[in-house]
Structure 1
């Protein structure tokens, strides 16, 4: 009997083994992270009530409406007579505040509505605990009905972009144009998923995040999604940190990540037939620019603009630079 030395390919772990090792390593890292935070006494962060957050994060023109059994935080700005208002939808773990730079400029001439999606910001958790795609489609339809909006321009970043294009595919008569900003939609192959999301999704460690939240973890995650991390400052971290502490939001994030399908409806994208602007940060490490190129390839007549130096949330990182192509796009649309 002869002995044979296994080759490199045979010694390499199978994909399933590699995935198990990666998952195990992430669990260990997450556990160590939270243990370290506990030892330093800097991570325990109790929920904050909606009432305690409103003075800081919902000054006028913020408003709340009752929708689906929960209060929904929104801002409705600009001329009410605008025949086709612009509705802006934020991404995971964000809030309507991410659009403030855009809204300030757009609302001089256009009616602009920004909203905290269920599970995030001051709107807080959905009573049903349902954060699947269909639930967000139902929410958006109910929002437009409540505001008596027959037809709108939908803009969305990340998760908000996915909600926007899915809604346009399902109800094309209600959407005049799309503005997709680093939008989700294709099967996710992230190069650098924010650490806070990964920790929240861990079966054993995730539930601890309902009670623990190191501020440094929030800062680290923001630096991951910005193309220029030096732009992340203390007020920005404070906003994300405090709104994440809104009662129920941490549990909602875990539920959202657990329910995330990831690219399940990508086959609908080529069926879109409406004016579409696609903006993408060239330094987006969560959803790479190749996803933006895929949207441009699949949506006939769409226009892709790559934004140098910016990351996953260009509307927040550099409102002026990211808004310029939006203004040009809006001027090309028929009234």
Structure 2
């Protein structure tokens, strides 16, 4: 297994920042460690234990900190399980299940078993959206609702989905913070803390390589649950118009939102997703 961090010092810096974020988590949360076939999986569980379950899957180069702005609202009505993906800079094992195989679905089988869930709603972002969609295709009886933010696997990828490769295309001098702003679509001034975190991560972290597999029309047509797809019109990583078109045409029960002036990082959608989950 290839190391996902460029150095032990880099690993320590990223993990220290993550621990700091967890100490400031906006709601009470249980920190769970689940045994899976991909190794230890770290989960933050919040909300009433008898409430409808929701699984959150963040994007590439991220961790559960991606849900900081949403968790206080969602955990009022739902039992929310924020899951750190394996092979990403969070609290889970560093193994990287093969994309396009049964491996990620089998890993999620283990996660649900560890949480004693037979099914749940899923909310996925970018790579996490691809993983949630892949699970819904392979295990439709285990996904009750599916909310996807800037998901991979539906629309075409612009540069390949690897952050570092996109950075290399944009800046020969590797101005990583400015590159992060362009990739995410976030303003350098208004979203300084988020961009600082992205810069820290990609200074020390090596993301996955290769393109995300694209789901076929037949796979999308096979989805039996309600699906919400939210994309940014100016997404630098995926062709959002392509994503919206295919989702609308091929997913039987799809609601598609295209946000004007928004890039790959989609913020401020707490309320629409909560409304979708409670239907």
Tell me the TM-score normalised to structure 1 length: 0.68
> In structure 2, how many angstroms separate the alpha carbons of the residues matched to 1:171 and 1:88?
17
**Does 2:259 correspond to 1:327?**
no
* Aligned pairs (5 A) from 1:186-265: 186=154, 188-190=156-158, 196-198=164-166, 216-217=175-176, 219-230=177-188, 233-244=191-202, 249-250=205-206, 253=207, 256-258=208-210, 260-263=211-214
Identify the structure with the greater helix proportion: 1
- Rate the CA distance shift 1:67–1:191 in 2: closer, same or farther, 3 A: closer
> In structure 1, how many angstroms separate the alpha carbons of the residues matched to 2:81 and 2:40?
16
| Corresponding position of 1:89 | 57
What is the root-mean-square deviation of aligned Cα atoms in Å?
3.1
Which of 41, 44, 50 is the aligned partner of 1:72? 41
| Corresponding position of 1:165 | 133
> In structure 2, how many angstroms separate the alpha carbons of the residues matched to 1:193 and 1:261?
7
Which of 131, 136, 141 is the aligned partner of 2:109? 141
| Corresponding position of 2:73 | 105
Larger radius of gyration: 1
Given that 1:74 and 1:116 are in contact with CA atoms closer than 8 Å, whether structure 2 keeps it comes out as yes
Given that 1:278 and 1:296 are in contact with CA atoms closer than 8 Å, whether structure 2 keeps it comes out as no
Identify the structure with the greater strand proportion: 2
- Rate the CA distance shift 1:80–1:224 in 2: closer, same or farther, 3 A: same
Q: How far is 1:46 from its partner? A: 3.9
Given that 1:76 and 1:112 are in contact with CA atoms closer than 8 Å, whether structure 2 keeps it comes out as yes
> In structure 2, how many angstroms separate the alpha carbons of the residues matched to 1:241 and 1:62?
28
Q: How far is 1:257 from its partner? A: 1.2
Structure 2 unpaired stretches of 5+: 1-5
Across the two proteins, how many residue pairs are aligned to each other? 263
| Corresponding position of 1:299 | 251
| Corresponding position of 2:3 | none
Tell me the TM-score normalised to structure 2 length: 0.81
Higher mean alpha-carbon deviation, 109-118 vs 266-275, is at: 266-275
Structure 1 unpaired stretches of 5+: 1-42, 202-213
Given that 2:232 and 2:260 are in contact with CA atoms closer than 8 Å, whether structure 1 keeps it comes out as yes
- Rate the CA distance shift 1:164–1:231 in 2: closer, same or farther, 3 A: farther
Higher mean alpha-carbon deviation, 186-195 vs 103-112, is at: 186-195
